[in-house]
Amino acid sequence: MAEMVVEGAVTLNVEGAFYNPRMRLNRDLGVAMVRALGISDYLDALAASGARGLRVAKEAGAAAVALNDVSPRAVALIRENARLNGLVGCEVLSSNANVLLHQRRFEAVDLDPFGSPAPFLAAAARSALDYLFITATDTAPLCGAHLKSGIRKYMAVPVKAEHHREMGARILLGAAARELARVDKGVRPLLTHATDHYVRVYLGIAKGAKSADRALESMGYLEQCRSCGLWRTVSGVGCPSSGKCSFCGGRAEVAGPLWLGPIQDPGVIGRALAAMEGSAARSDRGVRLLQACADEIDLPMYYDHHRLCRRFKATPGTASDLVEELRSLGWSASRTHFSGVGVKTDAPIEVLREVLTAPPPRSGARGGSSSHGP
């Protein structure tokens, strides 16, 4: 019995293969990114019904699209769905993805597995020539809720913290950067988002040992105080910890290694936004998400505005007000797509306390007079 769905510009029979309608946004953005990057040779390594790869072929116009799945039922469905959508030029493969990725090279490799992409990272790092796209649905190990599993999968220590979603994304980016470095490839994150139950990263790849060395300079650690929440990032490959918070003297824990470099490329994201406009992949949520990612300042981690207010016994305004206030004082600040109450800023925690606990400005005197800017 056929179970038909329409997604973007394709119609799919999904009977008997994995198809998650909640991942539509993920696939919409994937199509937009393939269009934005002008990719012509693309592998959907874990294709299930073929929803992702067939949409890339139909909507992004990639010339050579290969779709692979180890399940015979999935492969039969991919073939049927390719025919149904007039995409008979797509290559349909039935390998173990790790075998295929060791055998062949593709301009762009897309990993969208059940749970963790960790078992496929080494082979994908070898196969991907210019781009590697990764979905991870194992957010509990990545973000610190399942500590031991996170360490096993990513060889990184996640710490349960208020910015756990970004930490999870940066641990995934760090794991990918290290795998690519092992085969003399450097990485440049183009778009990173944590949405619903998953993290998704789009990586540009630069060949050569020097590129790999440069990328590894973006690795480091995050030291976080258990008592007051202050964090600091520490670059480099050695694990550094004073064990003590410089703000309140509380116990500090270390997360990492993780990626501390830029995670968004606003130029590429702008092109993805343009690619989305007027296309079958367009959605209001997709546009809002891309815009939010493009607008984030390039700084690791964020504060949870509500927790800051509780910590400093401040009357909560809005996160946007806090961002405006910090900007008016000369600091960099932005909201973040990682959390509706997240604030990214380079202002020290003392400044945040001062701003949040300052008496409300009299009308016409907003912003205060002193400048604490860097």
User: Which residues lie near ligand SAM (CB under 6 A)?
Assistant: 17-19, 23, 27, 46-49, 51-52, 68-71, 74, 96-98, 112-114
- Rounded to a whole number of angstroms, the minimum distance from the CB of residue 309 to ligand SAM is 39
Between the alpha carbon of residue 162 and those of residues 147, 269, 331, the distances in Å are 16, 26, 21
Give CA separation, 144 vs 31, 38, 118, 219, 236, in Å: 30, 36, 16, 18, 21
Euclidean distance between CA atoms 54 and 12, whole angstroms: 9
Classify residue 347 by its DSSP letter.
Answer: S
Min dist. Cβ of residue 182 to ligand SAM (A):
20
Closer CB to ligand SAM, residue 41 or residue 298?
41
Residue closer to ligand SAM by CB (options 47, 216) is 47
182 is in an annotated binding site: no
> Is 27 part of any known ligand binding site?
yes
Spatial CB neighbours of 135, under 8 Å, sequence gap ≥ 6? 23, 26, 111, 112, 113, 117, 198, 199, 200
Does the annotation list 69 as a binding residue? yes
To the question of whether residue 275 is assigned a binding role by annotation, the answer is no
Considering the complex, what minimum distance in angstroms separates the CB of residue 350 from ligand SAM?
A: 46
CB of 337 to ligand SAM, least distance (A): 21
DSSP sequence for 92-105: EE-S-HHHHHHH--
Looking at residue 328, its amino acid is S
Is 309 marked within a binding site?
A: no
Nearer to ligand SAM, 96 or 318 (CB): 96
Token output for 171: 């641990």
Q: Which is nearer to ligand SAM, 74 or 108 (CB)?
A: 74
Q: How far is the CB of 114 from ligand SAM (least distance, A)?
A: 5
90 in a labelled binding site: no
Q: Provide the CB-side half-sphere exposure for 38 (13 A, CA).
A: 0
User: How far apart are the C-alpha atoms of 148 and 39, rounded to whole Å?
Assistant: 37
Closer by beta carbon to ligand SAM, 76 or else 147: 76
Q: Which is nearer to ligand SAM, 39 or 308 (CB)?
A: 39
Supply the minimum distance, in Å, between the C-beta of residue 134 and ligand SAM: 12
Which strand (E) or helix (H) includes residue 82?
Answer: helix 72-84
- Binding-site residues from annotation for Zn(2+): 225, 228, 239, 248
- Binding-site residues from annotation for S-adenosyl-L-methionine: 27, 52, 69, 97
